[in-house]
Amino acid sequence: MTEQSTTKQELFTNLPAVDQILQQPAIQNLCTLHPDKYVSNCIRKAIDEVRQEIIAGSITKTEYIPTIDDIICRIEDFVQQGLGHKLIRAVNGAGVILHTGLGRAPLAPSAQASLANAVSRYCILATERETGKRGDRNRHTSEMLRELTGAEDSLIVNNNSAAVMLTLNTFGNGCEAIISRGELVEIGGAFRIPDVMARSGNIMIEVGTTNKTHLRDYKGAITENTTILLKVHTSNYRIEGFHQEVSISELSALAKENNLILLHDIGSGAMVDLRRWGLEYEPTVPEAIADGADVVTFSGDKLLGGPQCGVIVGRKEYIDRMKRNPLMRAFRCDKLTISALDGTLKLFLDPDKLPETHPIYSMMTVPLDIVNRRAHRIARRIRDVAGEFLTIKVEDSVTEMGSGALPARPIPSRVVSIIAKNLTAERLSLSLRFSNPPLFTRIEQERVIIDARTIADEEVKLFTKIFSRCIELKDTNKWSNQPLSTGLDKTKRGDDLPAIG
Ligand SMILES: *Cc1c(COP(=O)(O)O)cnc(C)c1O
Amino acid at 331: F
Amino acid identity for residue 158 in this structure: N
Q: Are 87 and 34 in contact (CB under 8 A)?
A: no
98 and 60, same domain (yes or no): no
Tell me, yes or no, whether 142 and 291 share the same domain: yes
In a domain, residue 86? The reply is no
**How many angstroms separate the CA atoms of 375 and 372, rounded?**
5
Radius of gyration of the chain (CA): 28
Tell whether 62 and 210 lie within a shared domain.
no
Distance, in Å, from the CA atom of 345 to the CA atom of 349, rounded to the nearest integer, reads 7
Residue 271's CATH number? 3.40.640.10
Kindly give the distance from the C-alpha atom of residue 134 to the centroid of ligand 1, in angstroms, as a whole number. Answer: 31
Whether residue 147 contacts residue 311, with contact meaning beta carbons closer than 8 Å, is answered with no
The answer to whether residues 180 and 287 belong to one domain is yes
Residue 353: predicted pLDDT: 97
Residues of the domain holding 54: 3-81
Query: Which atom of ligand 1 is closest in space to residue 310's alpha carbon?
Result: 7
Q: For residue 494, report the distance from its CA to the centre of ligand 1, in Å.
A: 39
- The verdict on 487 and 384 lying in the same domain is yes
Q: Hey, which of 235, 238, 312 would you mutate to test ligand 1's pocket, going by the most ligand atoms within 8 Å of its Cβ?
A: 235
Please count the other Cβ atoms lying within 10 Å of the Cβ belonging to residue 224. Answer: 7
> What pLDDT sits at residue 2?
47
Cα angle value 237/243/249 (rounded, 5°): 90
CA 8 to chain centre: 49
Ligand 1, residues at Cβ distance < 6 Å: 159-161, 164, 187, 191, 232-233, 235, 265, 267-268, 299, 302, 310, 404
Residues 253 and 233 in one domain: yes
Best of 232, 234, 268, 309 to mutate for ligand 1, by most ligand atoms within 8 A of CB? 268
Per-residue pLDDT of the chain (501 residues; tens, 9 = 90+): 444 555 888 889 889 988 899 999 999 998 988 888 889 999 999 999 999 999 988 888 888 888 888 899 889 888 877 766 678 899 999 999 999 999 999 999 999 999 999 999 999 999 999 999 999 999 999 999 999 999 999 999 999 999 999 999 999 878 999 999 999 988 876 788 899 988 899 999 999 999 999 999 999 999 999 999 999 998 777 778 889 999 999 999 999 999 999 999 999 899 999 999 999 889 999 999 999 999 999 999 999 999 999 999 999 999 999 999 999 999 999 999 999 999 999 999 999 999 999 999 999 999 999 999 999 999 999 999 999 889 999 999 999 988 766 556 789 999 999 999 888 999 999 889 988 789 999 999 999 999 999 999 999 999 998 998 665 555 544 444 343 333 344 333 333 333 332
C-alpha to C-alpha distance for 387 and 363, rounded to whole angstroms: 28
The pLDDT of residue 83 is: 67
Helix (H) or strand (E) holding 311: strand 310-314
pLDDT given for residue 431 in this prediction:
87
Is the same domain home to 387 and 401?
yes
- Which ligand 1 atom sits closest to the C-alpha of 185? 13
Question: For the chain, how far is it from start to end, CA to CA, in angstroms?
Answer: 48
How many distinct structural domains can be found in the chain? 3
CA-CA distance, 235 to 268, in Å (whole number)? 6
Q: What is residue 484's predicted lDDT score, i.e. its pLDDT?
A: 39
List the residue whose alpha carbon is closest to atom 6 of ligand 1.
160
Let me know if residue 500 belongs to a domain.
no
Cα–Cα distances in angstroms (integers) from residue 337 to residues 37, 109, 127, 139, 501, in the given order? 33, 15, 17, 14, 22
Give the pLDDT confidence score for residue 366 in this predicted structure: 97
DSSP classification of residue 332: B
- Looking at the structure, do residues 339 and 469 belong to the same domain, yes or no? no
Measured in Å, residue 268 CA sits from the centre of ligand 1 at 7
Of the residues 298, 330, 354, which one is the last residue of a structural domain? 354
CATH code of 99's domain: 3.90.1150.180
> Looking at residue 491, what is its pLDDT?
34
Model pTM score: 0.83
| 192 and 230 share one domain | yes
At residue 494, the pLDDT reads 32
Amino acid identity, position 459: E
Half-sphere exposure for 185 (CA within 13 Å, toward CB): 20
